Amino acid sequence: MIKKYTRIGNIALGVTVVSLGAVMYATANNLMSEDARLPLIAVYVISFWTMFWAYAKAKGRSGALGIVLPFFNVIGLVILLCLKDLSNLPPDWACEKCKGKNPALDSTCRYCSAPQPS
């Protein structure tokens, strides 16, 4: 996990929980008018999406994944939690023969089949 994004995700999680609690409390006790609740609901939605984006980035995944998954709500969260952490992979390697860039897990060059230099 990438610490910088994990921290952003944790802060967004806190803001999500507090703003959702405030919206639910205000609704249940009829404390605010519907118009007055809108900014609070906006904070909740933005922090919810930010949380997914940050946790996807922390796992070394595309931030776009964190934009799509919140549409699936709890199922999206379970999918995000089950995804393999790609942030600890070694960096890509460059082929000595053709200078092509290859993913760390490939043992031969994807362009010219030359073996990965050790």
Chain positions contacting Zn ion, by CB under 5 A: 95, 97-98, 100, 109, 111-112, 114
Minimum separation from the CB atom of position 103 to Zn ion (A): 13
Q: Which is nearer to Zn ion, 45 or 104 (CB)?
A: 104
Min dist CB 86 to Zn ion, Å, is: 23
Question: Closest approach of Cβ 75 to Zn ion, in Å?
Answer: 41
Q: Name the β-bridge partners of 94.
A: 101
CA distance 27 to 118: 63
- Rounded Cα distance between 80 and 59, Å, is 9
> Closer CB to Zn ion, residue 30 or residue 107?
107
Comparing CB distances to Zn ion, the nearer of 85 and 106 is 106
Question: Is 79 or 112 the residue whose CB approaches Zn ion more closely?
Answer: 112
**DSSP H helical segments within the chain, as ranges?**
3-28, 34-58, 63-68, 73-82
Least distance from Zn ion to the Cβ atom of residue 10, Å: 42
Calculate the alpha carbon distances from 37 to 11, 21, 43 in Å.
Answer: 22, 12, 10
Which residue, among 115, 59, 63, 116, has the nearest Cα to 88 in the 3D structure?
59
